[in-house]
Amino acid sequence: MTDPIQQVVTILKQAQRLAVLTGAGVSKESGVPTFRDALEGLWARYDPQQLATPDAFQRNPKLVWDWYEYRRQMVRMAEPNPGHYALAALESYFPEMVVITQNVDDLHEQAGSSDVIHLHGNIAQSKCFANCQGVPTLIDVAELDTDETPPKCPHCGAYVRPDVVWFGEILPEDALLRAYHISEQADVMLVIGTSGMVTPAANLPEVAQYNGAPVIEVNPDTSMITRIASVKLDGPSGVMLPRLLEALRNDD
Ligand code: OAD
């Protein structure tokens, strides 16, 4: 049987428009924990109902704020890994390549990816809980002269919260609409490091496949995406994506 990397090269060589969907797995080798890893995943150690819902924030704003501060610091210290860099370098092979990410870090951008859609927000940013000046009302916390945790919105006095999507909330509309559009138009979709358990992001590979694009998965484990993948690169993205890039270069 042909080497899976070679199979992917053959598929990618025919593609003009590449859509990429990434999840927490792509940042794992940068030291940012995933959510559903049985031992080290965030949701194995913390209860999302206590930390990642609007109700949880209203019940205990300080607890939620402090937990996100802890995660912010982890993300601030993280650097892109070889998977992020290889993905950014893949751009030169396609007239159009868009990364749709569920991640709230900016490691794709740091690595040089030029078109990244953030479906679940940006952990480095904060916004007014009431979005009093429009959706989202971003607040620069560094500019607020306060020690309160969480700080208060300077416009309306509501609590400031992280600019991330919590369970039970709708995704940013522009990002989601564009993600659907890119998935529908794609010639190929590459799905990297996601369990495929959280919709609507998890529906995008099916949207791409329904519109004729083969789905290629990069994941060391089986996921909800595996059953629809035409080819799977079975391994960490920090290893498999540089290998794929090298194979593409050698095929030139
Ligand atoms: P999960 O934690 O659910 O899944 C991570 C996936 O990455 C798993 O399938 C792992 O097998 C895979 N993985 C682990 N190490 C990897 C590596 N080195 N390279 C590639 N893959 C690896 O994370 P997501 O699917 O991103 O939502 O989770 C989706 C959403 O659930 C998150 O965005 C978050 C969470 O609740 C919000 O915060 C709104």
- What is the reported pLDDT for 173? 96
In this structure, the residues whose C-beta lies within 6 A of any atom of ligand 1 are: 23-26, 28-29, 34-36, 41, 102, 120, 164-165, 193-195, 197-198, 218-221, 223, 236-238
Q: Tokens for 81? A: 């890994």
Nearest atom in ligand 1 to the alpha carbon of residue 23 is 26
Amino acid in position 23: G
For residue 146, the CA-to-ligand 1 centroid distance in Å is 35
Domains 1-31+80-120+171-252 and 33-77+123-164 share a fold: no
- Classify each residue of 27-49 as buried b or exposed e, where b means 16 or more C-beta atoms within 10 Å of its C-beta: bbbbebbbbbbeeebbeeeeeee
Provide the pLDDT for residue 92.
97
Cα–Cα distances in angstroms (integers) from residue 29 to residues 78, 81, 83, 141, 213, in the given order:
9, 6, 8, 29, 28
Q: Given this model, what pLDDT does residue 1 score?
A: 61
The pLDDT of residue 44: 87
Return the sign of the alpha-carbon dihedral for residues 37, 39, 45, 47: positive
3 state SS of 145? coil
| Domain 1-31+80-120+171-252 homologous superfamily, CATH | TPP-binding domain (3.40.50.1220)
- 84 catalytically annotated: no
Are 163 and 126 in contact, with CB atoms under 8 Å apart?
A: yes
pLDDT given for residue 71 in this prediction = 94
Q: What is the distance in A from the centroid of ligand 1 to the CA of 102?
A: 9
Å from CA of 63 to ligand 1 middle: 23
Closest ligand 1 atom to residue 201 Cα is 29
Low-confidence ranges of the chain (pLDDT < 50): none
What's the pTM value of the predicted model, to 2 decimals? 0.97
Domain boundaries, the chain: 1-31+80-120+171-252, 33-77+123-164
Q: What pLDDT, on the 0 to 100 scale, is given for residue 91? A: 97
Decide: 25 and 193 in contact? Cβ < 8 Å. Answer: yes
* pLDDT at position 214: 98
Q: Which of 84, 108, 118, 120 is catalytic?
A: 120
CATH number of 33-77+123-164: 3.30.1600.10
CB-based contact 214:231 (threshold 8 Å):
yes
